[in-house]
Amino acid sequence: MKFTCTAALTGLASLFCTQMAAADDIDVGVLLPFSGVYAALGNEIEAGFTLGLETFGSDLDVEIVLHREDTEVTPATGLTRARRLILQDDVDVMVGIVSSGVLGAIRDIVHGAEVPLIVANAGNDEATGADCSPYITRVSFSNSQVNRPMGTWMADQGIGTVYTLAPDYAAGRQMIDAFTAAYTAAGGTVVGSDFTPFQQTQDFGPYIAQAQASGAEALYVFYAGGEAISFVNQYDSFGAAEGLPLYGSGFLTSQLYVNAEGESADGIVTALHYVPTIDSPENAAFVEAFQAANDRLPSEFAVQGYDAARALIEALSTGANDRESIATALRQVSFTGPRGLLSIDPVTNNLIQPIYVYETVTGTDGMTQTVLAELPAEADPANGCAMPSVVSN
């Protein structure tokens, strides 16, 4: 397999290019944020995608031509760049999308143009729910999928009451709603809840104090990126761990920025679809290869890019070579990777995968994760998805 790159290249993007003979071309649009607030996520997904192509594509008799575009985490920009990939570059398949807002913005053009899209991050439930499409296949997570199992697990641990916090935007509400529904169904009680202004909250102290005053046995939150770092550090400096242990979605203590949280993250228990300490041969091989290439441990964003590349290679290995055949093949992808056994649910095109409960602890080389439980993989409810049984022309 040969990789060819188009668009303005950075040093990382140049890693896509190798020297091997090829028989046919498959044009792949890589649509990620390489600038703006989520640039680190885009670079991490791209690093995993690069490694996945190199790892799984060496025997594929096809030339993959990569067209790289920056969404800037802006829905309008993402739509413009997606149109360019579809109409100007005539790509056969697209990969990427970090922001749920961008995914929502490009959904109709992807569906209308019948161009398969492999979602490597954006978790909005609607994308594999009411707004599902046979051309949109997600290999990352849905917002509900990450949080729903944690609600059941916490209730099963005997935690009878919780207080919840999250930023006030769609993902925050979807994650807390999924946790709350599962937790209360399992017998737990949510004694209070609040949503902080998204990307505007500097001082979490009043919210933490309110949670402490609620009498809850535990605090469950979703925060990510810079907000996660700020929240964890303020939770620790507030001394809240004494009587209000912290649980949450695993983005709170992502490998990508847990070292910025430092020992403030020690003892926090979260759930996510990937941590680099999963004990399996597949994950050991991935961690070793990613560290060798990037001089750091992989995060959940890296594994999403890696598995997106493998899903693409698996689809192309069936002989798929155009938009329709690639979309059809992607819906049938199944393999065991660093996260465990993965498969695509044909009802929604969402990924079915295990979820891991883990505690962040202080290790000899910084913060690390102790896996406490592997929760069974389960499909999301259809949530309004009415998926065609076959891809139409």
Q: Render pLDDT for 154-178 as a digit per residue (tens, 0 to 9).
A: 999 999 999 999 999 889 999 999 9
Same domain, 171 and 133: no
Those residues whose C-beta lies under 8 Å from the C-beta of residue 263, and which sit 6 or more positions away, are: 236, 362, 367
| Lowest mean pLDDT across 139-143, 151-155, 223-227, 386-390 | 386-390
The answer to whether the Cα torsion of 178, 362, 196, 155 is positive or negative is: positive
Q: How many CB atoms lie within 10 A of CB 161?
A: 15
Residue 389 in any domain: the answer is: no
What is the structure's pLDDT at 15? 41
| Lowest mean pLDDT across 184-193, 288-297, 342-351, 361-370 | 361-370
Residue 382 in any domain: the answer is: no
What is the structure's pLDDT at 62? 87
Q: Is the pLDDT confidence value at 2 over 80?
A: no
Q: Which residue has the higher pLDDT, 293 or 12?
A: 293
Residue 259 in any domain: the answer is: yes
Same domain, 50 and 158: no
Strand partners, 344: 351
**What is the domain count for the chain?**
2
Same domain, 156 and 260: yes
Residue 228 in any domain: the answer is: yes
CA distances (Å), origin 382, targets 347, 353, 357, 386: 7, 16, 25, 8
Same domain, 224 and 365: yes
Q: What are the respective helix, strand and coil percentages of the chain, to the nearest 5?
A: 40, 20, 35
In which band, very low, low, confident or very high, does the pLDDT at 211 lie, cut at 50, 70 and 90?
Answer: very high
What is the structure's pLDDT at 103? 95
Q: How far apart are CA 188 and CA 190, in angstroms?
A: 7
What is the structure's pLDDT at 393? 46
Do the beta carbons of residue 332 and residue 389 sit within 8 Å? no
**DSSP string of 244-265?**
S-EEEEGGGG-TTTHHHHGGGG
What is the structure's pLDDT at 12? 41
Q: What's the domain range around 164?
A: 144-272+354-375
Q: Report the chain's mean pLDDT, rounded to a whole number.
A: 92
What is the structure's pLDDT at 37? 81
Q: Render pLDDT for 13-27 as a digit per residue (tens, 0 to 9).
A: 434 443 333 447 899
Residue 95 in any domain: the answer is: yes
Same domain, 343 and 361: no
Residue 117 in any domain: the answer is: yes
What value does the mean pLDDT take over residues 322-327?
A: 96
Half-sphere exposure of 132 (CA within 13 A, CB side): 27
Q: Render pLDDT for 213-265 as a digit per residue (tens, 0 to 9).
A: 999 999 999 999 889 999 999 999 999 998 999 999 999 999 999 999 999 99
Q: Render pLDDT for 82-132 as a digit per residue (tens, 0 to 9).
A: 999 999 999 999 999 999 999 999 999 999 999 999 999 999 999 999 999
Helices (H), the chain: 39-56, 75-83, 100-113, 143-156, 170-185, 205-213, 225-237, 258-261, 281-294, 300-317, 323-330
Q: How far apart are CA 141 and CA 197, in angstroms?
A: 24
Strand partners, 221: 165, 248
Judged by DSSP in three states, 139 sits in: coil
Same domain, 152 and 222: yes
Same domain, 243 and 368: yes
- CATH number of the domain where residue 243 is located: 3.40.50.2300
Do the beta carbons of residue 153 and residue 358 sit within 8 Å? no
Same domain, 24 and 136: yes
Same domain, 154 and 188: yes
Residue 262 in any domain: the answer is: yes
Do the beta carbons of residue 364 and residue 356 sit within 8 Å? no
Judged by DSSP in three states, 231 sits in: helix
Q: How far apart are CA 45 and CA 392, in angstroms?
A: 30
In which band, very low, low, confident or very high, does the pLDDT at 389 lie, cut at 50, 70 and 90?
Answer: low
In which band, very low, low, confident or very high, does the pLDDT at 199 lie, cut at 50, 70 and 90?
Answer: confident
Q: How far apart are CA 277 and CA 284, in angstroms?
A: 8
Segment holding 270, helix H or strand E? strand 269-272
Q: Render pLDDT for 267-316 as a digit per residue (tens, 0 to 9).
A: 999 999 999 999 999 999 999 999 999 999 999 999 999 999 999 999 99
Same domain, 224 and 359: yes
Same domain, 10 and 137: yes
Give the predicted TM-score (pTM) of the model: 0.91
Q: How far apart are CA 389 and CA 90, in angstroms?
A: 26
Same domain, 213 and 336: no
What is the structure's pLDDT at 5? 58
User: Pairing between strand 340-344 and 366-375?
Assistant: unpaired
Residue 381 in any domain: the answer is: no
